[in-house]
């Protein structure tokens, strides 16, 4: 009876984010010869926006229709595909993640220089180099370059120019007024102009790499001189006095400081331009159909939240039962977890819309990553952080259970999910049953008789 009540309430708006009939089935297999085994299966109603209904189809159909309308829209906006908007969000996420790390490692490098610690200087430089290289590669994407061009073109009074020579007033003159076949000029009533060099973006992010190379070269030079000085001191060479200045922390710091500041400035320029261009891409998505986009986003959030509840439940149960299975734990932190869904929805009537919702909701679970942490209290509820396109679920374990995990997981490695949906459609008898149900408006008490009519070999409780 409770299950019927939950299922019948699926169309209520206040419950639209809650999964339907989420259950855990556990089978305990006992064998006198082999080890006992537990088999857990999570069952849940199809993640779908039941309150919004399926008159116009499910998410897959609605998203496809929306993209087609945006592509052919007459509005003054630029069409960016879902892949491009997802890329824009990824770039913004990389900015927010990497920029503070680089700034922190740069400060650690200067701190090591002030303390005149060669080993610490090497380690700080290594970390700074790794994060800066990741930063540079994160922006070597054609989308950022093309979006910057589109952004500056869309600005009032835009002048795009491609320099024919050095950017020098003495040699090149006023490039804005030179006749060049690649020039694109657009003026309006707003009395100001913005200039954009099509190749400027390439130079901007390349300057980050050049600045890093200068820092690396200076550190190598300082360490080399320090090594020579130590050798001379060990040999009691009088000329070693000439190198004593290198042993003062201020000298290392003063030589590295301007190079580190230049690196930070170059990085800040990249961040400013990349944020502008990626925000422009995302704003174009909204401009091409804001009302419909918001409704689809809401529907997608509803479906995703239902699918996520089942995923979290399944992950927590699997983690608890597999804590002593080293093979499972090794797979978990090295490749992730395969999440298999099996459905029985048909492509008839509203079930086609449910299936479309479910397919998109399960596909969106690829955005979810898990992190196992040690619980600091008696509250073991999972913690959800992040935003659309990237969620992290922190699963809390008691200290004794946490100690059983591999070191990689205990250190906070993010665990990936790979959701897969297999759907087995029901045969044509379902269609006949639907028609009988609709035409005769059967009451709940008549269901058992209908069941026996179509499935004479089964009992209604099976």
The answer to whether position 174 is within a domain reads no
The answer to whether position 77 is within a domain reads no
Identify the DSSP state of 14: G
The answer to whether position 173 is within a domain reads no
Task: Give the tens place of pLDDT for each residue, 72-90.
Answer: 654 556 778 778 888 888 8
Residues 139 and 151 in one domain: yes
Is the pLDDT at 100 greater than 60, yes or no? Answer: yes
Task: Give the tens place of pLDDT for each residue, 398-440.
Answer: 999 999 999 999 998 999 999 999 988 766 556 665 665 555 5
Contact 10, 46 (CB under 8 A): no
Task: Give the tens place of pLDDT for each residue, 280-318.
Answer: 888 887 666 566 777 888 999 999 999 999 999 999 999
Residues 92 and 188 in one domain: yes
Q: Domain count for the chain, please give it.
A: 3
Q: What is the pLDDT of residue 313?
A: 93
Domain containing 141 equals 82-163+179-288
Identify the DSSP state of 240: G
Strand order in the sheet with 337-343: 337-343, 415-423, 368-374, 390-397, 383-387
Residues 197 and 57 in one domain: no
The answer to whether position 385 is within a domain reads yes
Q: 243, 273, 288: which is the final residue of a domain?
A: 288
The answer to whether position 170 is within a domain reads no
* Longest CA pairwise span in the chain (Å): 109
Whether the full predicted model's pTM is greater than 0.85, yes or no, is no
Residues 123 and 188 in one domain: yes
Residues 407 and 301 in one domain: yes
What is the Cα–Cα distance from 68 to 64, expressed in whole angstroms? 6
Residues 275 and 302 in one domain: no
DSSP string, 29-81: E--SSS--EEEEEEE------TTT-STT--HHHHHHHHHHHHHT--SS-----
- The total of other beta-carbon atoms located within 10 Å of residue 309's CB is 17
Residues 228 and 311 in one domain: no
Residues 121 and 95 in one domain: yes
- Which residues pair with residue 29 across a beta bridge? 37
The answer to whether position 410 is within a domain reads yes
């Amino acid at each position: 009876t409770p299950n019927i009540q939950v299922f019948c309430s699926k169309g209520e708006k206040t419950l639209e984010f809650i999964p339907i009939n989420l259950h855990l089935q556990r089978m305990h297999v006992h064998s006198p010869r082999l080890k006992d085994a537990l088999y857990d299966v999570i069952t849940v109603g199809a993640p779908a926006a039941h309150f919004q209904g399926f008159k116009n189809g499910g998410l897959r159909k609605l998203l496809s229709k929306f993209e087609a309308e945006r592509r052919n829209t007459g509005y003054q906006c630029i069409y960016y595909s879902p892949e491009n908007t997802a890329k824009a969000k990824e770039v913004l996420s990389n900015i927010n993640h990497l920029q503070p790390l680089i700034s922190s490692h740069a400060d650690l490098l200067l701190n090591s220089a002030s303390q005149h610690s060669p080993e610490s200087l090497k380690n700080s430089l290594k970390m700074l180099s790794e994060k800066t290289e990741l930063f540079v590669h994160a922006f070597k994407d054609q989308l950022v370059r093309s979006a910057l061009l589109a952004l500056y073109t869309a600005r009032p009074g835009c002048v795009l120019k491609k320099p024919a020579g050095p950017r020098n007033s003495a040699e090149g003159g006023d490039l804005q007024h030179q006749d060049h076949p690649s020039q694109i000029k657009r003026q309006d009533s707003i009395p100001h102009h913005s200039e954009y060099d099509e190749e400027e973006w390439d130079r901007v992010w390349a300057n980050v790499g050049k600045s890093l190379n200068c820092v690396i070269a200076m550190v190598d030079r300082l360490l080399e001189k320090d090594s020579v000085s130590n050798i001379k001191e060990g040999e009691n060479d009088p000329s070693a006095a000439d190198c004593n200045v290198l042993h003062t922390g201020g000298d290392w710091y003063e030589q590295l400081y301007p190079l580190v500041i230049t690196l930070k400035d170059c990085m800040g320029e990249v961040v400013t331009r990349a944020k502008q261009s990626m925000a422009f891409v995302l704003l174009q998505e909204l401009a091409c159909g804001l009302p419909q986009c918001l409704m689809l986003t809401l529907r997608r959030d509803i479906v995703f939240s239902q699918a996520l509840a089942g995923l979290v439940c399944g992950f927590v149960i699997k983690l608890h039962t597999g804590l002593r299975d080293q093979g499972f734990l090794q797979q978990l932190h090295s490749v992730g977890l395969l999440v298999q869904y099996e459905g029985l929805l048909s492509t008839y009537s509203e079930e086609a819309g449910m299936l479309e919702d479910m397919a998109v909701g399960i596909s969106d679970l690829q955005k979810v990553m898990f992190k196992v942490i040690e619980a600091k209290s008696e509250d073991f509820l999972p913690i959800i952080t992040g935003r659309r396109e990237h969620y992290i679920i922190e699963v809390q374990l008691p200290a004794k259970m946490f100690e059983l995990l591999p070191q990689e997981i205990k250190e906070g490695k993010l665990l990936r999910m790979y959701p897969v949906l297999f759907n087995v459609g029901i045969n044509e008898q379902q269609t006949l049953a639907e028609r009988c149900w609709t035409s005769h408006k059967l009451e709940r008490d008549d269901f058992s008789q209908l069941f026996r009519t179509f499935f004479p070999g089964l009992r209604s409780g099976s």
